[in-house]
Amino acid sequence: MTAKADREVRLQAYLARAGVASRRRAEALITSGRVSVNNQVVTVPGCQVARGRDIVQLDGQVLEWQELMTLAFNKPRGVVTTMTDPQGRPTIADFLDANGPRVFPVGRLDYASEGLLILTNDGELARRLMHPSFGVAKVYAVKVKGHPSAEALRRLRSGVMMAPPACSRSGPPAARAPQQLSPRANVHVLETLRINTWLQIEVHEGQQHLVRRMLDAIEHPVLRLVRTAVGPLEIDDLKSGSVRRLTSRELFALRAAVKLAEGAPPRQPAVEQPGAPARSAGAPARGAERKGEGGTPGHRRRPPGQGVATHDRPRKRKDRRSR
């Protein structure tokens, strides 16, 4: 028996690497009595187990330790950011290899939103990417109704009083959550259409429907919302409905953004590794929709670690100012 096989890890970490759930969710599974080690029910999350020696089961099913995998997924509209849905709607699981390692989404994109979603079974990477203390940037291309004024954009950049999430607005008035100040955002205009506008918005927090609530507050509601980047990782030419494994350089940059990387980055771009075959939803490649109102203007590339400039003027495009 090798030292590597005998290396002990916490039980919740084992469950996370088996692709069952995040570490936090794994703790709840353990305390509820659904997990056993060597046929003995364990309810203490801090229990140590040895890979290759101990048999870990969830609801009687043996769990296997999996290799770490991190994927980029271009989520289409009309897909829920879960692995299963009781209402029978399309989920991200429909786009993944059923025989591959189990992965889970890092954060969420709502049903009507689209764009870059990171999927991984690396629990610590996921935790850090979502934790506000690391300030990982999320960049969105957003089509809004009307033409926001310079004052409206200034309010977005400095913080605007906005309504709480929808779940906090239900119930009797006395119990409803008050308005809250939005986090500061980097904002500039991508494209001015005839009656609508494309904005680029960069935020460093993850709140429910944050960008939508911010734009509702300045009375320019969202018509379309596309996430184009998370930290140093950009969506680039990944087609809607497609998924791919991160290259070694991309993974290093992502881990470096949350202080997990060690050593120097890979010198040469790595060949994409097998294990996550792409499955396209049949959407056109980036740029194919860009004629007229239905297209998404390409987001501006920026050096890693730098914010989006807020003083850039709209890009002028001849004969393309449709609605």
Q: Which candidate in 85, 94, 97, 110 is catalytic?
A: 110
Q: What is the pLDDT of residue 270?
A: 47
Q: What is the pLDDT of residue 179?
A: 86
Retrieve residue 180's tokens. 């809250």
Cα atoms found within 13 Å of the Cα of residue 158, Cβ hemisphere only:
6
- Catalytic annotation on 54? no
Q: What is the pLDDT of residue 114?
A: 97
Per-residue pLDDT of the chain (323 residues; tens, 9 = 90+): 444 445 888 998 888 888 777 777 889 999 999 999 999 999 988 889 998 899 999 999 999 888 889 999 999 999 999 988 999 999 999 999 888 888 889 999 999 999 999 999 888 899 899 999 999 999 999 999 999 999 999 999 999 999 988 754 545 555 566 788 999 999 999 999 999 999 999 999 888 899 999 999 999 999 999 999 999 999 999 999 999 999 999 999 999 999 987 766 776 554 444 444 444 333 333 333 343 455 677 555 443 333 333 333 334 334 444 45
Q: Are 50 and 56 in contact (CB under 8 A)?
A: no
Backbone φ, ψ for residue 322 (5° rounding): -85, -170
Q: For residue 297, which of 309, 314, 311, 312 has the smallest C-alpha distance?
A: 314
Amino acid at 234: E
- Give start and end residues of each alpha helix (H) in 146-280: 150-158, 210-217, 248-257
* Domain ranges across the chain: 3-62, 70-257
Q: Are 120 and 70 in contact (CB under 8 A)?
A: yes
Q: What is the pLDDT of residue 293?
A: 53
Retrieve residue 35's tokens. 């997990």
Q: Please give the C-alpha separations between residue 34 and each of 65, 94, 320, in angstroms, as whole numbers.
A: 18, 27, 58
Q: What is the pLDDT of residue 165?
A: 83
CATH pick for 3-62 out of 3.10.290.10, 3.60.21.10, 2.40.30.10, 3.30.530.20: 3.10.290.10
């470096």: which residue's tokens? 256
Q: What is the pLDDT of residue 267?
A: 67
Provide the 10 A C-beta neighbour count for residue 175. Answer: 8
CATH topology of domain 70-257: Pseudouridine synthase (3.30.2350)
pTM: 0.73
Q: What is the pLDDT of residue 147?
A: 98
